[in-house]
Structure 1
């Protein structure tokens, strides 16, 4: 590292306490700052932006879906960058790209009008293509790269205490994400959607400076080891490195565990996104009012936070295969409640089921990959998994909609979900920790 860089950054070895706790705070803040690129952050802008662009709801939703699918094709490349350049630079540039994209989004209506004037064409295709490209950048930089780099950095700085620190991060993010629509909506109501995006871009520019100062790639780069012990050069040279066998992406994908855990996490993204996107229509098709549909999310969040808190803490002591089957059980419960929504047990099953899915997702998506495959190629591995999750979340709304418009009911989704979970339960029997 150059003298200039040393003068501008913090030296973790000189910290009066283990610098991993700074990493925990900054990494959690990094995931939180990805909200403008997450569905929960974009959805608040839907109505004012689609109206300003002259798009109807279906066109706007399809643009979001296409942008998300496009981003899923490139996110795995971001994982390779993480392994090559480290969390600091990858997160720094992802934040700058996200900030620039938000700035461009704030001028999207003017840009669309200008392009239409230059081409002398008044058509919905121009704003559709423009916002699709902007959604691609939002999803790629925000939901994809910034989230992945920040979460992976935390996991690299801890080993035996990985579950405990992920517990604190998961709880903080659960409350942070659930409250974000309130303050984003207040920002839009107070200043308008264009200025709201500009203020978010300014906040990200400020955060990029904090990334440059405080993000650190590996504890070993600073004479430390995961969990907070200083490296003794005389004895540590004789001690095996933490991480066991370091799998690359090709080796990881050759194991059954990679596919079983990735598919289970992708199922969570698919089911929760589809349910959230169509929840009012789903409940209305079974004779429930809008208020009943919206009311399921608060108790579901309580279940998710409780599950993630308890099982993050216990994950340092328990095998993750138990977690996989408990997550499968949560999926079965959710799909059963989805199928029998009109019955007295339907809504409780659905709430407990999708809450359990979300809780174990928060644990396994962070803990499984470094425990199973080591830290050296964590970016490439989690980048590939992230591409599955993003693709699943992009496909869910149109698939749910297709089943309802074709068959007049969402129930087929529930039957297919139970069939998939049955397959997963059988296929996961021989899914073992590759270490």
Structure 2
């Protein structure tokens, strides 16, 4: 077994006087990061789609194509943030990402041309949906090993809470202030919420302040000299990419990213096509997020108890159920059941995808490994909205799009089942 080394030496710190595991403070900061990634997430962008179309006169296909292009190009954020995370640590990278994400969000309110819209979507998707989410969860994964599932679940709760809170709030802001001013308000909020805790509270690793994963200062002092705390294998990115499990996991995550993003991006239109008004459709988003809270807590507990790949496969099955149910939506209660299925899917797939890579490949090179893995998820998420939008304009409903993509989660479930944990060969 290899214990992760850190270039920074352990120095006396006020953190050592805290009577509990400082990792839980890291979880709080990461929670805020996940929550404030909302303006870069599809569930927030979806609220802006119709106002942008109505104000600019651009077609749904144009906006969908621009969003898809910006989302695909967001892999740049994953690659840069992942490598920077390993080189400079969470504190510096989180500060930089938060500052730039706030700026990109403010500039979204200034777009006047599809090219500007592409740059805006590229910015908020690269920095919010990709970099900020990855840095937040990776920081928690560095501070926890044995309790990783539960710590990640708590952090991941920020996503459904954000999905509950932000859509109705943003909907009201758009009605009151217009969509352009709303983007500016969101950008300023990102700076206010994220920059102070990133500067004051985040530390690179537990080892850098004399601690160990899952342990407070008291626990570390009680260790015998021969003990080193939790042990784990640590793979380099090159070693990880040579394993079958790495690529099976990346493929297993594509259905949730591609289909989930597409159906969230077109959520308002999808609900309208089934006779559900905008106000009720917005409430379904919040219901989805509320169920996601329960699903995330449940998934976090299960991840510490059973093989992660089976939980990921269960998420794909739930995704298929969610897609199939759309054909039955005629009343509000039908839409509510769709929201429940979707919320369960989000917790099962997304929480597992965050935890399974550090569980398989360790902490030392996690930034680079997650950067590569996130590229697959980001590209697949970018590929979803355009075909769904184009197929809608061809058939005037979403049935063809859903039928066309229904086999993908079945294939992803099989990939997850076959992604057994790899074994690191002794050097």
TM-score by length of 1: 0.82
Which aligned pairs between 1:368-383 and structure 2 lie closer than 5 A?
Answer: 368-383=356-371
User: Partner of 1:355 in structure 2?
Assistant: 343
Cα distance in structure 2, aligned partners of 1:258 and 1:50: 40
Paired position in structure 2 for 1:87: 90
CA RMSD across the alignment: 3.4
Flag structure 2 segments of 5+ consecutive residues without an equivalent: 1-10
Taking a change above 3 Å as real, the CA distance of residues 22 and 147 of structure 1, as seen in their structure-2 partners, is same
- Aligned residue runs from structure 1 range 14-25, under 5 A: 14-25=17-28
Query: Which region of structure 1 is more displaced relative to structure 2, 363-372 or 386-395?
Result: 386-395
Distance of 2:276 and 2:54 partners within structure 1? 27
Query: Which residue of 136, 146, 170 corresponds with 1:150?
Result: 136
Structural mapping, 1:173-192, within 5 Å: 173-192=159-178
Deviation at 1:275, TM superposition (A): 1.9
Aligned counterpart, 1:122: none
The corresponding residue for 1:137 is 123
Q: What is the alpha-carbon distance in structure 2 between the residues aligned to residue 105 and residue 295 of structure 1?
A: 25
CA contact (8 A) 2:312 2:353 kept: no
Displacement, 1:293? 6.2
1:55 CA drift (Å): 4.1
Contact kept, 8 Å, 1:269 with 1:389, in 2: the verdict is yes
Deviation at 1:360? Answer: 0.5
Find the counterpart in structure 2 of residue 196 from structure 1.
Answer: 182
Structure 1 residue 434: Cα displacement: 1.9
- Listed one character per residue, the Cα deviations across residues 231-265 of structure 1 (whole Å, up to 9, x for unaligned) are 459845x4456452211222222223222332222
Equivalents in 2 of 1:61, 1:278: separation in Å?
Answer: 9
8 A contact 1:332–1:353 mirrored in 2? no
Offset of residue 142 of structure 1: 1.4
1:63 partnered with 2:66: yes
5+ long unaligned stretches in structure 1: 1-5, 113-126
Q: Deviations over 1:123-167 (max 9, x none)?
A: xxxx22122122212211111111111111112111111222223
In structure 1, the partner of 2:5 is: none
The match for 1:115 is none
2:383 to 387, 395, 398: 395
Matched, 1:259 2:247: yes
Residue of structure 2 equivalent to 1:211: 198
Task: Name 1:419's counterpart in structure 2.
Answer: 407
Distance 2:51 2:339 in 1: 31
Displacement of 1:90 in angstroms is 0.7
CA–CA separation in structure 2 for the residues paired with 1:63 and 1:212: 34
Query: Which residue is equivalent to 2:311?
Result: 323
Q: TM-score normalized by structure 2?
A: 0.83
Matched, 1:226 2:209: no
Instruction: State the 1:375 CA deviation.
Output: 0.5
CA drift of 1:311 comes to 2.5
- Hey, what's the Cα distance between the residues in 1 that align with 2:106 and 2:393? 37
Q: Is the 8 A contact 2:78 2:134 kept in 1?
A: no
Return the alpha-carbon distance in structure 2 between the equivalents of residues 44 and 57 of structure 1. 13
**CA 1:299 to 1:205, structure 2 compared with 1: closer, same or farther past 3 Å?**
closer
In 1, Cα distance between equivalents of 2:357 and 2:285: 28
Counterparts of 1:136 and 1:27 in 2: how far apart (Å)? 23
CA gap 1:353/1:202 in 2 versus in 1, 3 angstroms: closer
Contact 1:243 1:374 in 2 (8 A): no
Kindly indicate whether the alpha-carbon contact (under 8 Å) linking 1:90 and 1:145 is maintained by their aligned counterparts in 2.
no
Please give the alpha-carbon distance, in whole angstroms, between the structure 2 residues aligned to 1:197 and 1:104: 8
